[in-house]
Chains A and B, each alone.
Chain A
Amino acid sequence: MKWIINALKGFWTILRRPSKAAVGIVLFMGFAGGLMFWGAFNTGMEATNTEEFCSGCHAPIVAEIRDTIHYANRSGVRAICSDCHVPHAWTDKIIRKVQASKELFAFFITKTINTPERFKERRAHLAEREWARMKKNDSLECRNCHNFEFMDFSEQSPRSVRQHSTALASGEKTCVDCHKGIAHRLPDMHKVEGWN
């Protein structure tokens, strides 16, 4: 035990002395630490961005998406869950809940969407939240891939052009106003504007 403390003390004196070596070591440690942190952070983020990860809790949704254009299409370019969703602001929401209390987390899971019936009941509410979020950021996630500036109206079908060159171009409407259910089955729409 003692030798470790002694070694650390020695190391500390080197660092405290204003020498070139100390500066070098400090810089190197900062660099290495930064790399390690960045790596771990990225791996964590990538792991939580995969479809398998989401399917842990959203299995029915992952099954539904297979029929849609963002899963399979002629060009093979895909949009995965995390391309369209900030995965419920992982960093603060869920993780904080895990930290706060494990029971609360379990309660949180078991309560809202864990059975088909509960999901069915909750779905409209969740969809509303997503629409509100995307309306607020002007469908930022869609626009990450679909840039209005580069939409070639001569390539689009007349039905698309009619809407895109008017309501979309003027900014009166945003993608999710018209493309609800683009990746999922819809909840009860009878009270939703444009559907009733």
Chain B
Amino acid sequence: MMKKLILITLSMTFTLISGFAVSQDRGIGGVESLRGNVELEVTRAADPLKKVPRDQLDIESSYVFQPPLIPHHIRSYEISLNANKCLSCHSWTKAKQMGATKISVTHFTNRNDEVLADVSPRRYFCLQCHVTQADAKPLVGNSFERVKSLQ
């Protein structure tokens, strides 16, 4: 009697486990992710592309020494060995006339802290640090708060 009971329980457990295993082989098993509630095998329709506004109000910094964000579109603005369109407005000689923000003095120092006569090569490619902002909601919650001095 005891033997039979053990055998039945065991076989039932195995059936259940293998059943789970099979059902979890496929799909997302009901787990929702950033991708949405879509089975793995299905290619979900893409979200619409986010648009960068032509111009927006200056976006405030969230932490000290944050590279300021770009508050305007930069479509086809060339930054190459030949030309740097950003500097044609943001360099010290042009900024005032163009109503643009001057680049920071930190951009004239090289990595040995030597002050150069012009923009340091390590600062030349503006988009390494400065980026445009589209109107996109954060995908995951975030409890980040600005430091007191910037609030």
Give the secondary structure class of A's interface.
loop
Knowing A157-B54, A194-B94, A195-B88, the reply to whether A67 touches B82 (Cβ < 8 A) is no
In the complex, identify which listed stretch (A3-11, A21-29, A179-187) lies at the interface while the others stay far away: A179-187
Asked if B36 lies at the interface with its beta carbon under 8 angstroms from chain A, I say no
Complex contacts, B141 vs chain A, CB 8 Å? none
As a 0/1 sequence over residues 81 to 119 of chain B, the CB contacts with chain A under 8 angstroms (1 = contact) are 111110110000010001100000000000000000000
Contact A185 B72 (CB under 8 A): no
Asked if A88 lies at the interface with its beta carbon under 8 angstroms from chain B, I say no
Complex contacts, B83 vs chain A, CB 8 Å? 181, 186, 188-189, 195
Contact B55 A186 (CB under 8 A): no
Q: How many angstroms from the CA of A163 to the CA of B89 in the assembled complex?
A: 12
As a 0/1 sequence over residues 63 to 91 of chain B, the CB contacts with chain A under 8 angstroms (1 = contact) are 00000000010011010111111011000
Q: Which of B30-71 contact A (CB under 8 A)?
A: 54-55
Q: How many angstroms from the CA of A187 to the CA of B75 in the assembled complex?
A: 18
Contact A189 B82 (CB under 8 A): yes
CB distance from A119 to the nearest CB of B (A): 13
Contact B76 A186 (CB under 8 A): no
Q: How many angstroms from the CA of A159 to the CA of B72 in the assembled complex?
A: 9
Complex contacts, A188 vs chain B, CB 8 Å? 81-83
As a 0/1 sequence over residues 169 to 196 of chain A, the CB contacts with chain B under 8 angstroms (1 = contact) are 0000000000001100111110000110
